[in-house]
């Protein structure tokens, strides 16, 4: 097992969200502040994690890899943790109200920075300002099968459609219809304008300011998936005490695992959120702290005293309460296949699992 010095717990200072637009600064940057409590929580966890590939809230997972729309939709199918129990049934993000829109916008600002300016040549349509969401057009397509429109006719029709949106023409990847009362198109969008190969813009990307634009499905961007899982994993290695404080600072709790299904979900989340650095069995990155110990002398229970509630899948010959550091092993870590091990929580540093508050 890994032994290393405990790190000093970072301090997080939460501020009230600033709703006003911040004007351009002297260096030309335009900055949009975080609007939601969830955004501030995501920022707190981002201050810890070194993983720049995946960012998450308790509702969305944002992947920074740039892919086209079909690839994004396929990749999101694997993000089916939590309430969605069917493997392969995850979907690109459904944004059907303003609160959800603000939350994903904040997550994008956390991942890519809240500013637009010289660092990206002031180009609004730079790919890192956008991410794929699950809205796509299903009716009144200019390039519908059997259409005999020429390219010139398509362009003429698109000009007439510019900035006009018929809600019934659009659907989310989870098969829910677009919201009649709320959509968030950018100025003069959707525009449906075709390219020279007569492809039309039938799929939607979201600007990190929160506005939407229809786009060609072959464009590449980051992408956001719906997330209904209980757990958010933090890659940064900490002792148990520091991990517990870090989860609390983000408005979460150190993970509870109450059932076989919880354990299976946690295992999936570990492999989704934390890159595997080594195949070595006891590598610290392959074990994750959860909120379980036996300090009270009543068997293994969660930190708040709640019983674990199922037959613990111990790693072979565990728990062994091995002695060291003037104590014995009392705290629990879980590996990538869901096996549990007792360990020295105040001396070893590992990644850790936080749990969404509505999963309590």
204-247 pLDDT, tens digit per residue, is 999 988 999 999 999 999 999 999 889 999 888 999 999 999 89
Share of the chain above pLDDT 90, in %: 46
Task: Give the pTM.
Answer: 0.80
Mean pLDDT over residues 130-151, rounded? Answer: 90
Range 257-283 average pLDDT: 90
Three-state SS annotation for 2-67: CCCCCCCCCCCCCCCCCCCCCCCCCCCCEECCCCCHHHHHHHHHHCCCCCCCEEECCCEEEEEEEE
The per-residue pLDDT of the chain, averaged, comes to 82
Residue percentage of the chain with pLDDT more than 70 = 80
Reported confidence tier of residue 18, pLDDT bands at 50, 70, 90: very low
CA neighbor of 239 nearest in space, from 249, 252, 254:
254
Q: What integer is the mean pLDDT of 248-261? A: 92
Residue 143 pLDDT grade (very low, low, confident, very high; cuts 50, 70, 90): confident
CA angle 16-235-110, nearest 5°?
35
Cβ atoms within 10 Å of 8's Cβ, excluding its own: 7
Q: Is the pLDDT of residue 327 over 70?
A: no
- The band of 49, judged by pLDDT with boundaries at 50, 70 and 90, is low
Rounded Cα–Cα distance for residues 297 and 24 (Å): 59
Q: Does the pLDDT of residue 14 top 50, yes or no?
A: no
């Amino acid at each position: 097992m890994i032994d290393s010095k405990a790190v000093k717990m970072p301090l997080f200072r939460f501020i009230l969200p600033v709703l006003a637009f911040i004007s351009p600064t002297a260096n030309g940057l335009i900055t949009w502040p975080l609007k939601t409590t969830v955004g501030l929580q995501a920022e707190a966890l981002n201050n810890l994690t070194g993983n720049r590939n995946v960012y998450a809230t308790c509702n969305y997972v944002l992947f920074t890899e740039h892919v086209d729309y079909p690839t994004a939709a396929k990749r999101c199918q694997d993000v089916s943790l939590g309430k969605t129990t069917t493997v392969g049934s995850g979907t690109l993000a459904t944004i059907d109200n303003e609160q959800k829109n603000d939350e994903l916008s904040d997550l994008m600002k956390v991942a890519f920075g809240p500013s637009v300016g010289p660092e990206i040549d002031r180009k609004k349509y730079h790919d890192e300002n956008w991410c794929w969401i699950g809205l796509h057009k299903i009716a009144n397509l200019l390039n519908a099968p059997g259409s005999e429109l020429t390219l010139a006719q398509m362009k003429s029709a698109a000009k007439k459609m510019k900035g006009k949106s018929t809600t019934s023409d659009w659907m989310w990847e989870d098969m829910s219809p677009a919201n009649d009362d709320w959509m968030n198109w950018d100025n003069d969008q959707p525009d449906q304008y075709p390219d020279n190969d007569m492809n039309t813009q039938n799929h939607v990307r979201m600007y990190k300011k929160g506005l939407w634009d229809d786009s060609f499905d072959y464009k590449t961007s980051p992408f956001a998936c719906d997330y209904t899982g209980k757990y958010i994993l933090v890659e940064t290695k900490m002792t148990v005490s520091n991990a517990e404080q870090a989860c609390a600072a983000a408005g979460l709790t150190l993970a509870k695992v109450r059932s076989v299904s919880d354990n299976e979900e946690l295992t999936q989340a570990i492999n989704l959120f934390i890159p595997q650095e080594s195949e070595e069995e006891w590598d610290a990155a392959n074990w994750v702290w959860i909120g379980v110990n036996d300090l009270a002398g009543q068997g293994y229970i969660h930190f708040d005293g709640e019983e674990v509630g199922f037959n613990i899948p111990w790693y072979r010959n565990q728990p062994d309460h091995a002695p060291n550091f003037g104590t014995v092993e009392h705290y629990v870590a879980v590996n990538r296949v869901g096996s549990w091990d007792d360990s020295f929580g105040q001396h070893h540093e590992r990644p850790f699992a936080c749990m969404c508050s509505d999963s309590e």
